[in-house]
Amino acid sequence: MSGTLDLLLKERIVAIVRGLEGESADRAAEALVNGGIRLVEVTMNTPGALKTIAGWREKFDGRAAIGAGTVLDLQMAKEAAAAGAMYLISPNLDEEVIAFGAERGLSVWPGVMTPTEIVRAWKAGAEAVKVFPMASLGVEYLKEIRAPLDHIPMIATGGVDLTTIRSYFEAGATAVGIGSKLLNREWIKAGDFERLTDNARRYVEIVRSLN
């Protein structure tokens, strides 16, 4: 088991940063880390993603683990690793990316939906899987697939907010991926980063109350 997987199992929240760049992205990430978020994923389809990953690896060293999201193929995995990504997350299952992660000692958490994809990812060497899109699949779906596959750590991504987060964990999620509910664009635009911190803290407190 890798140290990154240990962190995922302990902290149970991955913040998803998509489409934010520059100073506002830096300040938003700082706000989340101040609120107790310890895993931050920068999606590869964010402008300047590689630069952001490299910068945040240095900026948040020892405070948060920075990973790359929306890693669709081997080439993107190589670019993300070169930039310093500590783990790779995908919306899809690509065995080449998993194999690359194993070579480099990087956790890879691929996107899956069906039981067949979940088992394929696990057999290929994924330490955990990202069940996506949960907003469409729903909590009951997660509960059903967890029953026969409860040995595989699952990150539920999509549809998680302050009112639903408990239900995802009750259904068997190992962790959750959260994007816009942690990174409210209006608050960021208004420069209200303290509100981001307070909001992040509420998510973290809920997760800690479950342990």
Task: Tell me if 92 sits within 8 A of 117, measured CB to CB.
Answer: no
Residue of 23, 41, 58, 205 marked active site: 41
Residue of 58, 130, 181, 205 marked active site: 130
Selection from 45, 36, 46, 44 nearest residue 13 by Cα: 36
Whose structure tokens read 């962790």? Answer: 175
Please indicate whether residue 41 is annotated as part of the active site.
Answer: yes
Give the Å distances, CA to CA, from 48 to 22, 51, 54, 66, 178: 9, 5, 10, 15, 21
Compute how many other C-beta atoms are within 10 angstroms of the C-beta atom of residue 8. 25
Structure tokens at 177: 């991926």
Compute how many other C-beta atoms are within 10 angstroms of the C-beta atom of residue 190. 10
Q: What residues are labeled active site?
A: 41, 130
